[in-house]
Structure 1
Amino acid sequence: MEVTWDIIELISKEVDVPYTITKNVVNLLDNDNTVPFIARYRKEKTGNMEPEKIRQVKEVLSEFRTVKQRIVSVKEMIKKQGKLNKVLNESLSEAVSLAEVEMLYAPYKPGSKRSLAERAREAGLEAPAEKILNNNIEIDLTSLIQPSSADYSTISDVKKGLQHIIADIIAKNTAAKENLNSICKKSYVTLESTKIKKAAPSTSKKEPKATKGKKNETSKKFIDENKFQHYFQFTCNIKTIKPHQILAINRGETNKILSVKIVIPENVKRLYTIFCSQKWIRPNATNPVRVLIEECISDAYDRLVAPQMSRQIRSDLTKNAEKASIDVFCSNLKNRLLVSTVKHKVVLALDPGFFHGCKLAVISKTGNVLYTDILYLNSSKPNSKVSEEEKLSGIISKYSCEIIAIGNGTACRETETKVAKLIKSKHFGGTKVCYCIVDECGASIYSVSPVAKEELPDMDHSLRGAVSIARRLQDPLAELVKIEPKHIGVGMYQHDLSDKKLKDALDCIVGECVSFVGVDLNTCSEHLLRRVSGLNATQAKNIIAWRNKEGKFNNREQLKLIKGLGAKTFDQCAGFIRIISGHQDTNEDSEEEPSSFPKAGSKRKANPREGTSKSKKVKLAVDSSVNPLDRTWIHPESYHIAKKFIKKTGTVCDDIGFPTFITKVKQFMKTTDIKKLAEELNAGEPTVKLIVDGLLQSINYDLRDGYEKPLFRTEITTLNDLKLGQTLTGRVSNVTHFGAFVDIGVGIDGLLHISKMRPEILVQKNRTQLELGDRIEVKIDSLELKSSRIGLSLS
């Protein structure tokens, strides 16, 4: 018997999902299906489950399987020692957390001190102890005395040995533990923290001797104790304590600033004692037996159960707080990645600086580098005949720049002030220019990365940062996939989290964002392809190599020609990859189909620059004709259903994505019941809805168009311009559990505390909390100019 629990049942309870649905999701995950694929194309089996929930099932499944594996290995190690008794075996089989498993294994680890109960068992006291507890039989203690033993040579020693075994059995009993958990959930259990009193400094003039191998105290990183002042005398119910409070207290404890403890009320012990007495003490038990068992119950609670419960509570609080912190990071990252693109605009990017100047890059509408330079906008440039402002004006005029993207790093505020004044004074002539502050997190890391060296080999690394700033404004997702996710998002106490857990969660988010947005197979970069559901770095590289050699893809089926890309991988990635040949020349508002779009079944001729195929025999195995359905997010496995539906609407596949086609589909759906339609097409309702939604999208559809857009400005507001009660438009720059930070354009983010968020505002946005990137109206509630603190409320 490895474990006594059903892993599906535990996951179902943990994530609050029906058992059958949980089982379906686990089976899909076990068959190597990715989260994006399951979320979009297996809705019938998941009950329309959101990707966040599927990801949660995946994480909890991994946790419980890790526990199961650990139980098996621990049992094997204890068994080799010859110490795997019945009670321990059952306790391990019922354990559902790593903390519980490690607690049970602790006395049996090599080099560890044996438990008191283990020593008593080795002395042969287990059988009489079980008779006392299970049968309430009175034992003659003198018969158990071992004169040759130093530990059990007296009646008192024997009695203690029996008590240790009985207490151990009671403490490990499943029913008793479940009862205790139930009691604690209903009780007022608190977490308390207090400031640790530092020892008074020594008055001795004698210099302390340097300790070999230890760092000098003065070389250690300074920790500001005042950051933890809210927790110097802190008490909170464990049911209401916030995740950020747990993480702050844990950090204070780690830095030896705070002393922390769990306080369990006395009533818990009383109720636990009543339950244990009713379970183990029979009505006809003699008084000595009754007294002995009662003492054992009290000892079990004080010495074993209460400390274990305290450790478990701390462990659970930390685990939940870390999960909440990762969730915040993931949510912020997702909203940062899905910021709307700025299409068809020439961008001039400024990476601000003082004495070393502002690095400048001009990027074309398609992301190509047109010009780079360094401007000294915030310092004087020696021997300069032309002012830096005139030079900037000349560059903007020459390249018809429409947007100035300013990185939010050092000298951002000074650069913004300069640019805003130039715009206000119409320094750029008739050119209409606005500016936007761009988050440059990770730009410096990108600038010295192998990716940047490969993309911009002849460019100085300092200028590459400016190129990245411009491109992340034009297409944030395409640029940010080149950077490690943890360098992009804004989180909460992320430095205290497990690197692996954080990386896994963030990688999942990036993969979901890239997959759901979709990539054009003929224009996307290798870095984007790596993040598509089902693909890895090698497969992405092989796809790009095939495209460079053979020319552009005509259809999704040609992916099967790629080395190392099998049927399973094709199933996972096909729906997230689109073939939109000629879409750059398409006018969305045009009623006519552009000539650049090939007809269905036609074979597009390769551009001479694309190369020519040298593998004609291989190509014969896969149809190379154009399939208009490849423009959509409809999966190839559902093409036969999509074709039946298109026939019903009276349209043709060649028109997919164009206004006339979309209008006809809309008109058809006005008089059609989706449930009845699904029955007619012999398909699941979610699949049919997915097909309809896919066919209602224009060729240039972009999921990100529905998300918040960058905030463009033409003038600047300073901190001194602010007044109490003033209403401003701001953008949410970070979200935590205690509130949100909002960029209101003064160089310092204001804090919108959770208590200042009006529920009706959130209802209008169809959600329960604000998200990174949200544009909101806020009112200045408090203003501390000296400390540069701004308090906000939702207007």
Structure 2
Amino acid sequence: MSESHEANRWADEGTSLAGYTLKKEEEEDFTFDEPCLKKQKTSSACLGHPTSLPSSESQVLRNELNMTWDMMELLSTLTCVERWVCVNIITLLREENTVPFIVRYRKEMINHMDADAIRDVQLVFEELCSLAKKTQSVIQTLKKDGVLTAELEQNLRSCRSADELDHVYSPYKKGSKLTKARRAKALGLEVAASAVLNTPHTLDLRTWVKPGTEGLSSVEEVATGVEHILADMIAKDPETLTHVKTLCENSFVSIQSSVSKSALKEREQKSVQDIDKFHLYFDFTCNIQRIQPHQTLAINRGESLKILTVKVNIPDRVKSDFTRWCINNRWRLKTNAREDVHAIIRKAVEDSYKRLVLPFLTRSYRTKLTSAAEKESIAMFVRNLRQRLLVCPVRGCVIMGVDPGFRHGCKLAILSPTSQVLHTDVVYLHNSGQQKEADKLRHLMIKYSCTRIVIGNGTACRETESFFADLISRRCFHPLDVSYCITNEAGASIYSVSPEAVKEMPDLDPNLRSAVSIGRRVQDPLAELVKIDPKHIGIGTYQHDVSGGALKAALDSVVQECVSFVGVDINICSETLMRLVAGLNAGRARHIVEWREQNGLFINREQLKLVKGMGPKTYQQCAGFIRINPQTLHRLICTESIQGEVAKISPHPVPAVPDKSAPKKGKGKTCVNVPASFNPLDQTCIHPESYHVAQRFLSLVGGSADHIGSLVLRQCVESKVSTSSVEELARTVDTTPETLKLIIDGLTQPPGFDIRQNFGQADFKQGIVSMNDLRVGAVLTGRVDNTTLFGAFVDIGVGRAGLIHKSNITLDKLPVSQRRRSLALGPGERVEVRVLNVDTQRGRIGLDLIRVLQ
């Protein structure tokens, strides 16, 4: 199950926060407006269906775009999302709401869409806004050049894609040659072209002849100029373009690639090594509607390297049908005309198709294929990253991280259950003196009671795994029950020399920092992996063939989503992790850490308002994702002796704090008073804007906030829900069902609940299997290591990942919840597979998916 489905529990209420005061002249309103879905609620309308944007917002948007099409209608058409949902999404985004906040706390306004779907709508909206901005820029340029006409401006403002805009604008670009149509118009032949269409019976081309003038010296030159003007009109006519696209949709349009002559010549000279990598596309033809995204990206890469030549094949039947339709329908002459005039219109149509329409169609197809392939590739990255970040942490044990190596030895880092570095060392396992190194390892393992070993999957991984497996089989670590796992070390070396790593571990050698990072990736994957640029984590494919900006934005967004939905304990959270919470950034996270260092622990969420730069909007966006864990408070206060007495708030010990306020320093801020007592609701996913609803519900079921997560409260809630539906209870406490569902989850989840516990954990083992042990037909279990556009790579414990080709990932083998995803599998998922083939020479294993293990 995807994380966005796992964590889509949120509320939809407004509130006023008592106990918060400001001086009137500097008052900052931290109350939250009620979501518009409640304001729009009527007996005849579905909950959350606004009929339109607020008038002022709608007018601002229209003024900004100034296009002939309606933004929301077009957005709805392009994304296949209902118009009212598009209106709500854009309204929320323009109000600076973050995607995680929208998905969790504004669910009914977005019709229960997940984060990926919201981002898709956001991306298309941004593309349309960019198109409108570019159109306005083009219009200003043409106006300055003195070539803008009312008709041209209308055509520009009607464009619905960048391709269409480029098609209309390209003849007028500076630096480009004067087009044939513009040269003919400059000679004054536009009137003649208009006469061909409207009054062909009166047209006499001889009246336009001017001997000695280039382009007008003969009747033939005049006719040619008129044809060019007509061809240009035909190629830019929206109705004509729509018709030819329809003809193409009903025909077999294919894309074809072949090896280029220059590549063949270079291969003969053996000067290029990459040519054979594209051998599948040396003679490749595929229907434009059936080509796979990875094939599109591979062809594009081959073309950019000048190894492949690519063309789009449109059947000749399209040309003949198009010509017939133009002559007999759209561009039919209005009156009887001589044969020479009919010849002009026929030649104009043929010239328009060959010289203008066909290249436009080719560009459009290539652009659409590339755009679709890039989006699918980025979606794959996003899905892989989400599942990699949400791997269940391995808690409560000492771990040894191992960065394997030959010549420079294996770097070790022993980490405490809380990820503190206990010891670092280097051992040389693959040289002489192995027994001495084995004794050292045994001493370290027993000294620190280390039972888990995490080995990076880089150079010497297989040999290092074999060494540890042999020690375990000989019971060298007795009486400890030791096991090991292999983890992806992608990005560890890059992180080890980053300024962040130097700041965090200033006294450690970069190689030893890599070992620390490898161990922490299993202890808490999310907290460790967010320190690394997502594109270096080793997920997905073709990352260099997609838009770098779009990929970075998507990956950064999913990191924020994962961090927010998991939640952070503000009293122990690192600055690196905190900056990724929805609504926060590097500066705000730094101010939170500084406040914590200067004023001590956070006792409640309200104290966030005391932090510099924490305005009402920022507080609204981040508050629901920040936790105040009472167990952490108790442990830290006792350890650091911050306060002598600790109050007992059953079932968790919580510090008793004097009721005092702290000053908030910042521009325009003078004094802020907030409650200084612990609020049990601050440890839950319930947003502060719904606390009053949660208190009403607790009163209704006869429970207390002091018993959050206890068996007693769970029984009270279950009893009430079993006698009344959630919808009825929601009406009783004056809220929405989704708000109540989130509140119920927050009140009944056990202390320290982590949504990642529903995801897979690293697989530890004690023995080793090699590829030579595999047999065709053998049934094995494994864990998905990475997914690509053509299949999923599965770690089956033999040192090489096997590939399940996408053709073997069929709906009947998948759980219902995963059938709507494009490939349906993601990193970390456990699967049962059958070995189809083993190629030991090439190190390849073919697998068939049997089922996904829940």
Determine if the TM-score, normalized by the shorter chain, exceeds 0.5.
Answer: yes
What does 1:288-687 correspond to in 2, within 5 Å? Answer: 288=339, 289-380=341-432, 387-583=436-632, 598=649, 604-605=655-656, 621-687=673-739
The residue identity in structure 2 corresponding to 1:189 is V
Q: Distance in 1 between matches of 2:91 and 2:330?
A: 41
SS across alignment from 2:712: helix
Q: Displacement, 1:200?
A: 8.1
Partner of 1:269: 319
SS across alignment from 1:387: helix
Greater shift in the superposed pair: 573-582 or 268-277: 268-277
Partner of 1:235: 285
SS across alignment from 2:792: strand
Q: Are 2:842 and 1:793 aligned?
A: no
Q: Displacement, 1:603?
A: 8.8
Greater shift in the superposed pair: 720-729 or 449-458: 720-729
The residue identity in structure 1 corresponding to 2:548 is D
Q: Assess, with a 3 A threshold, how the Cα gap between structure 1 residues 165 and 699 changes in structure 2: closer, same or farther.
A: same
Q: Is the 8 A contact 1:407 1:439 kept in 2?
A: yes
The residue identity in structure 2 corresponding to 1:785 is T
Q: Are 2:167 and 1:115 aligned?
A: no
Partner of 2:229: 165
Q: Is the 8 A contact 1:724 1:782 kept in 2?
A: yes
Q: Are 2:775 and 1:723 aligned?
A: yes
Partner of 2:18: none
What does 1:94-105 correspond to in 2, within 5 Å? Answer: 94-105=158-169
SS across alignment from 2:481: coil
SS across alignment from 2:453: strand
Q: Assess, with a 3 A threshold, how the Cα gap between structure 1 residues 406 and 137 changes in structure 2: closer, same or farther.
A: farther
Q: Assess, with a 3 A threshold, how the Cα gap between structure 1 residues 688 and 478 changes in structure 2: closer, same or farther.
A: same
Q: Distance in 2 between matches of 1:775 and 1:602?
A: 38
Greater shift in the superposed pair: 233-242 or 750-759: 750-759
Q: Is the 8 A contact 2:263 2:306 kept in 1?
A: no
Q: Is the 8 A contact 2:663 2:671 kept in 1?
A: no
What does 1:1-12 correspond to in 2, within 5 Å? Answer: 2-12=66-76
Q: Are 2:750 and 1:710 aligned?
A: no
Q: Displacement, 1:606?
A: 6.7
Q: Is the 8 A contact 1:583 1:700 kept in 2?
A: no
Q: Are 2:232 and 1:183 aligned?
A: no
Q: Is the 8 A contact 2:612 2:664 kept in 1?
A: no
User: What TM-score comes out, normalization by structure 2 length?
Assistant: 0.86
Q: Displacement, 1:667?
A: 2.4
Partner of 1:251: 301
Q: Displacement, 1:459?
A: 0.8
What CA deviation, in whole Å up to 9, does each residue of 1:476-528 have, x standing for no partner? Answer: 00011111111114112111122111111100010000011111111111111
SS across alignment from 1:732: strand
The residue identity in structure 2 corresponding to 1:40 is R
Greater shift in the superposed pair: 181-190 or 766-775: 766-775
The residue identity in structure 2 corresponding to 1:227 is K
Q: Percent of counterpart pairs with the same letter?
A: 45
What does 1:202-221 correspond to in 2, within 5 Å? Answer: none
The residue identity in structure 2 corresponding to 1:542 is H
Q: Is the 8 A contact 1:520 1:579 kept in 2?
A: yes
The residue identity in structure 2 corresponding to 1:514 is V
Identify which of 257, 271, 282 aligns with 1:193. Answer: 257
Partner of 2:77: 13
Q: Assess, with a 3 A threshold, how the Cα gap between structure 1 residues 600 and 794 changes in structure 2: closer, same or farther.
A: closer
Structure 1: where are the runs of 5+ without partners? 203-216, 587-593
Q: Distance in 1 between matches of 2:609 and 2:834?
A: 57
What does 1:53-68 correspond to in 2, within 5 Å? Answer: 53-68=117-132
Q: Are 2:135 and 1:71 aligned?
A: yes
Q: Assess, with a 3 A threshold, how the Cα gap between structure 1 residues 200 and 451 changes in structure 2: closer, same or farther.
A: closer
Partner of 2:799: 747
Q: Is the 8 A contact 1:468 1:479 kept in 2?
A: yes
Q: Displacement, 1:581?
A: 2.1
Q: Are 2:208 and 1:144 aligned?
A: yes
What CA deviation, in whole Å up to 9, does each residue of 1:106-129 have, x standing for no partner? Answer: 232222111111111122222331
Q: Displacement, 1:324?
A: 0.7
What does 1:755-770 correspond to in 2, within 5 Å? Answer: 755-763=807-815, 766-768=818-820, 769-770=824-825
Q: Is the 8 A contact 2:400 2:414 kept in 1?
A: yes
SS across alignment from 2:814: helix
Q: Is the 8 A contact 1:551 1:606 kept in 2?
A: no
Q: Distance in 1 between matches of 2:324 and 2:718?
A: 68
Greater shift in the superposed pair: 431-440 or 292-301: 292-301
Q: Are 2:98 and 1:47 aligned?
A: no
The residue identity in structure 1 corresponding to 2:330 is K
Q: Is the 8 A contact 2:530 2:559 kept in 1?
A: yes
Q: Is the 8 A contact 1:329 1:489 kept in 2?
A: no
Q: Assess, with a 3 A threshold, how the Cα gap between structure 1 residues 713 and 107 changes in structure 2: closer, same or farther.
A: same
Q: Assess, with a 3 A threshold, how the Cα gap between structure 1 residues 474 and 787 changes in structure 2: closer, same or farther.
A: same
- The root-mean-square deviation of aligned C-alpha atoms, in Å, is 2.5
The residue identity in structure 2 corresponding to 1:475 is D
The residue identity in structure 1 corresponding to 2:384 is N
The residue identity in structure 2 corresponding to 1:688 is L
Structure number with higher relative contact order (C-alpha < 8 Å, ≥ 6 residues apart): 2
SS across alignment from 1:302: helix
Q: Assess, with a 3 A threshold, how the Cα gap between structure 1 residues 694 and 603 changes in structure 2: closer, same or farther.
A: closer
Q: Displacement, 1:658?
A: 2.3
Q: Displacement, 1:600?
A: 12
Greater shift in the superposed pair: 370-379 or 127-136: 127-136
Q: Displacement, 1:583?
A: 4.8
Q: Is the 8 A contact 2:631 2:653 kept in 1?
A: no
SS across alignment from 2:609: helix
Q: Is the 8 A contact 2:680 2:706 kept in 1?
A: yes
Q: Are 2:331 and 1:280 aligned?
A: yes
Q: Distance in 2 between matches of 1:770 and 1:307?
A: 39
Q: Distance in 2 between matches of 1:324 and 1:146?
A: 58
Structure 2: where are the runs of 5+ without partners? 1-64, 636-644
User: What TM-score comes out, normalization by structure 1 length?
Assistant: 0.92
The residue identity in structure 2 corresponding to 1:550 is N
Q: Displacement, 1:757?
A: 2.6
SS across alignment from 1:56: helix
Q: Displacement, 1:605?
A: 4.8
Q: Distance in 1 between matches of 2:805 and 2:748?
A: 41
The residue identity in structure 2 corresponding to 1:527 is T
Q: Distance in 2 between matches of 1:137 and 1:579?
A: 86
Q: Distance in 1 between matches of 2:425 and 2:89?
A: 53
Q: Is the 8 A contact 1:552 1:606 kept in 2?
A: no
Q: Displacement, 1:41?
A: 0.8
Partner of 2:99: 35
SS across alignment from 1:426: coil
Partner of 2:217: 153
Greater shift in the superposed pair: 122-131 or 15-24: 122-131
Q: Distance in 1 between matches of 2:485 and 2:202?
A: 84
Q: Distance in 2 between matches of 1:580 and 1:135?
A: 84
Q: Displacement, 1:585?
A: 7.4
Identify which of 784, 794, 810 aligns with 1:732. Answer: 784
Q: Displacement, 1:296?
A: 1.4
